[in-house]
């Protein structure tokens, strides 16, 4: 749902919809001499005329096209004054200008009535027309600085204050533009703002108010504290995280919830860190442990379990789009690559490689890693050869230093590649800015294009027609492999037509004879005699030998054939079409990242890092990615460390300190800036140690708070006064169902050499099991491709199909009723009905039943057809409770 909030905010920004006609405050009179680029455009922005959904759309609306948010005044002027034979402006009778008639809906207007004849906006437009409808020098009215006052205001619920916006223009003039701005509260439950800039506190918490003058946005903050006579509780922080969280709660006067009980903590931390439910034994042991540091020890233990690296492999593979393959003729495929990608990431997490190094080894990946192309080809051969059961290529690939598969994915380079890098490693969403100025961020199109140039000199995988010409050495190798492949295929063919065929005929005969002799032997044995039995057995052995010779020859031919295909097709194609390296040829030096949009084809000549003013100058052979990574690893990088800190935080709290966690925009205010700074600083000081980061968050009181709210904090969503409920991720949920029912799903992926015992969290791509696919799709699984770069890919909303699936899918009932499942085990384990129920509760919801629950269950079991049936229903119920479905 949160993504929806955010998106609606985007709408808001896009539309600047301030449609309240009631005049609430006395407005200063509109400018006497309105200028087009300074005032008229601002009115368009304020009324939403130039928003993307109205005339600001690329193709305009109903023949009238404005630049988005008025970014290009001269074009807008031409549209307004010259287009359609100038009928939009009537200088002889300004009141009857089409533009005014439409805006006030005196003639039909698709957008309805957007202003009234008595409004200040109307006056601006009318006066401008009256005074000659001239185009002023837009450059003079460029905004040098936009200021909003008060920038931050502390107030009580019900209180009101007024915002003022002042623009300083490049020509040195200054103007109060409050009445030319659109205002927007980013959280209307906390404070509202009207079109005059008057803010009213309606709830408790802090809220950002956004003002926009033309296409320039600016934020002001309001902090509204709760009125209460009760003293703030004396809650003790456990670490510096809590100090910051509590400090803000104290300022808002929102008391935090208590620390949660041990059983809830254990379930929470085990699910969050390893993606698994705690076992009944583990729960009992933990509950009986009296040591005061048991939570700290548990956190350490869990961070060192394989579940931790499995869960974060899932998260990083989602983030990095780890199964997006299939460029023509590159020899790459999801079933080869996705598991390798995963294996590599997992190995790095298991060794807890510092995060900056992790990122660097992905971003600077090359296929050869400095080796000769022959050595690399050997690696490729071994990898392809390892695609069998069990897959030996995975371990081999995991040993590589760098992850070249990242760059072998579809759309990994140029503008789409840059956007993925920005999203995954910098927590920035740049999609909008590809084509136009980002409507609710600071990014301009030139920022994105200049940044994308860093990723344009990576070789693009796939058949390009001229690869053989462009890379003659690779082509030579390609031909060798192709020839070798052909030779092997020939050899296999010869074998099949020769010896295999001959042996096959013998074998056919031998099979018949073998059956006859087997029958004879059986008859003799039945009769109890032994006459001639040995001779027959010798004969049988000879026949068996013929058969096995045939099989061996067949196998040999098949092996040859497979190897032929492997070398001649898979390896050869990869060698020529899929190696990742830095391009140094002359053409590559001239290539620029390009974006094609309805606005045309655009590019930038500069290499400029995001947020930097000056472009960098590259040496002729320099890999621009190196510059990028060096910038990334600078301790003062504004995004890199912060992005991962914020993402890890949001994993545990379901919202980022900056939220959504992939939108580190200056216009998306952080709820706890000091905390985020401090966590980031210490994370960098701890050499980007991910486990340090996890541990620090997990050890905080804030993480260990109860989800049970008190009367004062129930409506708080952003200040961590209590633990926020959230649904288990799809994969974790399915594993939890399997764990509590003692069943598993056959993924039906033997054909692709998947190991037998994978958990759902560990699957690298879609399985052939319909139930698994159904659950993952309904509960939201990332598609791991470049179609959506957003942390919101895993949607957490509820749906009918989810509920129906969990309650009534035949597979769920099969699991509950599994004759070798959890219930069967419990029945064997104990005959006491209460204990049986206790075991079910521990296994499914991680706690013991309370008295009322126990009595209800006992009653149900007593009235059931059989104890087994009764227990099955109880288990079914538990799987369908919110307690099971939610992290709490």
Partner 1 sequence: MLNSCSTFRQHTRRNFLRIGGASLCGIGLLDLLRSQCQAAGGSSKAKQMIVCWLAGGPPHTDMFDMKPDSPSDYKGEFQPIASNLDGLQVCELMPKLAKQADKYTIIRSVTTMNKPGDHSRAPMYWLTGNPRLPSGTEKYPMYGSVISKLKPGPAELPTFTVLGKIDHHINNSIAGSFLGPAFNPFIFDPLAAKDDIAKMLSPQMELPAFTKNAELLKSLDKRLRGQDAADPLIAGLDQYQQTAFDMLRSPKLRAALDLSKEKPETIARYKQNHLDKTRYPSGDPLHFLLSRRLIEAGVPIVHFSLGYWDWHGENFVAGRQQIPMFDSGLSALLEDLEERGLLETTIVLALGEMGRKPKCGTDKNAGRDHWDYAQFVLAAGGGFKRGCIVGATDKLGEQVTDNFYKIESFGRTLYHLLGIDADAAFPAQSGRPIRLIAEDAPLIKEALI
Closer to partner 1 by Cβ: residue 622 or 777: 777
How far is 411 from 156, CA to CA, in rounded Å?
51
C-beta closer to partner 1: residue 340 or 717:
717
Q: How many angstroms separate the CA atoms of 142 and 524, rounded?
A: 106
* Euclidean distance between CA atoms 826 and 837, whole angstroms: 9
Closest C-alpha to 336, from 379, 380, 387: 387
**Burial classification of residue 152, based on how many CB atoms lie within 10 Å of its CB (0-12 exposed, 13-18 middle, 19 or more buried):** exposed
The CB-of-785 to partner 1 minimum distance in angstroms stands at 4
Q: CA–CA separation, 812 vs 805, rounded Å?
A: 8
Closer to partner 1 at the Cβ: 739 or 789?
A: 789
Tell me the DSSP string of 350-377: HTT--HHHHHHHHHT--SSTTS-HHHHH
Q: Find the shortest distance in angstroms from Cβ 844 to partner 1.
A: 11
- Spatial distance between the Cα atoms of 768 and 782, rounded to a whole number of angstroms: 17
Q: Which residues contact 687 (CB under 8 A, 6 or more apart)?
A: 354, 356
Q: Shortest distance, CB of residue 458 to partner 1, whole angstroms?
A: 18
Of the candidates 230, 135, 119, 214, the one whose C-alpha atom is nearest the C-alpha of residue 175 is: 214
Which one, 522 or 886, has the nearer CB to partner 1?
A: 886
Q: Which is nearer to partner 1, 174 or 855 (CB)?
A: 855
Q: CB of 335 within 8 A of CB of 418?
A: no
Q: What is the C-alpha separation between 26 and 28, in angstroms, rounded?
A: 7
Least Å from the CB of residue 492 to partner 1: 30
Determine the Cα–Cα distance for residues 874 and 616; give it in Å rounded to an integer.
65
Q: How far is CA 344 from the centre of its chain?
A: 19
**Distance of closest approach, residue 881 Cβ to partner 1, in angstroms:** 4
Decide: 163 and 197 in contact? Cβ < 8 Å.
yes
Tell me the closest approach of the beta carbon of residue 474 to partner 1, in angstroms.
27
391 or 423: CB nearest partner 1: 423
Residue 1 Cβ vs partner 1, minimum distance, rounded to whole Å: 5
Of 553 and 857, which CB lies nearer to partner 1 in the complex structure? Answer: 857
Least distance (Å) between residue 793 CB and partner 1: 6
Alpha carbon distance 17, 10 (integer Å): 11
* Nearest Cα to Cα of residue 337 among 323, 320, 318: 323
- Grouping H, G, I as helix, E, B as strand and the rest as coil, residue 144 is strand
Minimum CB distance to partner 1 smaller for 125 or for 557? 125
Which of 422, 684 has the CB closer to partner 1? Answer: 422
Determine whether 614 is exposed, middle or buried from the number of CB atoms within 10 Å of its CB (0-12, 13-18, 19+). Answer: exposed
Q: How far is the CB of 422 from partner 1 (least distance, A)?
A: 12
Closer by beta carbon to partner 1, 198 or else 856 = 856
- Supply the minimum distance, in Å, between the C-beta of residue 557 and partner 1: 32
Q: Which residues contact 756 (CB under 8 A, 6 or more apart)?
A: none
Q: CA–CA separation, 753 vs 761, rounded Å?
A: 17
When the beta carbons of 329 and 588 are compared against partner 1, the nearer one is 329
Rounded to a whole number of angstroms, the minimum distance from the CB of residue 48 to partner 1 is 6
């Amino acid at each position: 749902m949160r993504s929806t909030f955010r998106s609606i905010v985007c709408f808001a920004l896009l539309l600047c919809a301030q449609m309240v006609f009631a005049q609430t405050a006395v407005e200063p009179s509109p400018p006497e001499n309105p200028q087009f680029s300074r005032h008229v455009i601002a009115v368009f922005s304020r009324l939403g005329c130039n928003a993307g959904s109205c005339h600001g759309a690329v193709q305009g609306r109903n023949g009238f096209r404005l630049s988005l948010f008025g970014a290009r005044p001269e074009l807008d002027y031409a549209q307004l004054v010259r287009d359609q034979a100038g009928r939009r402006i009537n200088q002889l009778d300004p009141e009857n200008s089409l533009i005014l008639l439409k805006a006030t809906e005196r003639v039909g207007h698709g957008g309805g009535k957007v202003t009234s004849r008595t409004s200040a906006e109307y006056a601006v437009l009318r006066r401008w027309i009256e005074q000659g409808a001239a185009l002023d020098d837009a450059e003079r009215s460029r905004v040098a600085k936009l200021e909003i006052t008060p920038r931050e205001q502390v107030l009580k619920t019900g209180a009101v204050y007024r915002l003022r916006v002042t623009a300083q223009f490049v020509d040195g003039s200054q103007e109060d533009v409050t009445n030319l701005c659109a205002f927007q509260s980013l959280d209307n439950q906390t404070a509202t703002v009207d079109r005059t800039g008057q803010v009213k506190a309606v709830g408790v918490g802090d809220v950002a108010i956004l003002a926009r003058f033309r296409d320039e946005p600016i934020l002001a903050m309001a902090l509204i504290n709760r009125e209460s006579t009760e003293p703030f509780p004396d809650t003790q922080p456990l670490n510096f995280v809590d100090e910051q969280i509590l400090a803000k709660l104290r300022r808002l006067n929102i008391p935090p919830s208590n620390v949660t009980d041990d059983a809830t903590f254990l379930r929470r931390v085990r699910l969050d860190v390893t993606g698994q439910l705690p076992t009944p034994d583990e729960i009992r042991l933990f509950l009986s442990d009296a040591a005061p540091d048991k939570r700290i020890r548990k956190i350490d233990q869990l961070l060192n379990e394989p579940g931790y690296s499995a869960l974060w492999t899932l998260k990083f593979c989602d983030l990095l789009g780890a199964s997006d393959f299939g460029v023509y003729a590159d020899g790459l495929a999801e079933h080869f690559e996705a598991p390798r990608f995963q294996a590599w990431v997992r190995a790095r997490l298991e060794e807890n490689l510092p995060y900056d190094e992790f990122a660097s080894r992905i971003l600077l990946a090359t296929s050869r890693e400095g080796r000769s192309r022959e050595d690399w080809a050997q690696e490729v051969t071994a990898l392809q050869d390892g695609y069998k059961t069990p897959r030996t290529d995975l371990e081999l690939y995991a040993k590589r230093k760098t992850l070249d598969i990242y760059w072998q994915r579809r759309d990994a380079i140029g503008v789409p590649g840059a956007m993925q890098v920005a999203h995954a490693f910098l927590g920035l969403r740049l999609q909008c800015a590809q084509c136009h100025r980002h409507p609710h961020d600071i990014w301009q199109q030139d920022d994105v294009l200049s940044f994308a140039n860093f990723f344009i000199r990576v070789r693009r995988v796939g058949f390009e027609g001229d690869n053989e010409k462009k890379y003659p050495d690779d082509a030579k190798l390609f031909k060798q492999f192709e020839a070798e492949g052909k030779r092997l295929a020939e050899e296999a063919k010869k074998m099949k037509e020769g010896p295999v065929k001959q042996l096959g005929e013998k074998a056919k005969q031998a099979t018949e004879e073998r059956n006859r002799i087997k029958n004879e032997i059986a008859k003799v044995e039945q009769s109890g005699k032994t006459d001639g039995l040995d001779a027959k057995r010798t004969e049988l052995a000879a026949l068996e030998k013929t058969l096995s010779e045939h099989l061996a020859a067949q196998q040999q031919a098949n092996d040859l054939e497979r190897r032929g295909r492997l070398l001649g097709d898979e390896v050869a194609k990869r060698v020529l079409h899929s190696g990742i390296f830095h391009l140094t040829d002359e053409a590559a030096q001239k290539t620029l990242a390009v974006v094609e949009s309805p606005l045309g084809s655009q590019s930038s000549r500069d290499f400029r890092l995001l947020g930097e003013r000056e472009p960098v100058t590259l040496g002729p052979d320099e890999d621009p990615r190196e510059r990028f990574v060096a910038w990334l690893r600078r301790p003062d990088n504004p995004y890199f460390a912060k992005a991962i800190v914020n993402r890890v935080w949001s994993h545990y709290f379901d919202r980022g300190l900056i939220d959504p966690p992939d939108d580190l925009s200056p216009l998306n205010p952080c709820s706890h800036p000091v905390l985020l700074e401090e966590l980031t600083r210490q994370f960098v000081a701890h050499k980007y140690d991910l486990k340090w980061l996890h541990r620090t968050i997990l050890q905080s009181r804030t993480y260990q708070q109860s989800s049970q709210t008190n009367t004062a904090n129930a409506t708080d969503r952003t200040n961590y006064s209590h633990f926020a409920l959230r649904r288990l991720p799809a994969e974790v949920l399915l594993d939890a169902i399997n764990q509590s029912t003692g069943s598993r799903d056959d993924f039906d992926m033997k054909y692709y050499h998947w190991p037998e015992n994978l958990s759902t969290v560990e699957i690298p791509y879609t399985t052939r099991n319909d139930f698994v696919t159904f659950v993952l799709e309904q509960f939201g699984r990332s598609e791991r491709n470049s179609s959506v770069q957003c942390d919101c890919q895993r949607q957490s909303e509820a749906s009918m199909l989810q509920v129906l699936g969990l309650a009534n899918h035949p597979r769920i009932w099969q699991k509950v009723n599994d004759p070798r499942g959890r219930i069967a085990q419990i029945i064997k384990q104990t005959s006491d009905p209460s204990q049986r129920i206790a075991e079910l509760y521990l296994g499914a919801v991680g706690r013991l039943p309370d008295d009322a629950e126990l009595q209800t269950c006992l009653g149900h079991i007593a009235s059931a057809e059989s104890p087994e049936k009764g227990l099955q229903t109880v288990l079914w119920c538990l799987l369908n409770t919110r307690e099971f479905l939610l992290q709490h």
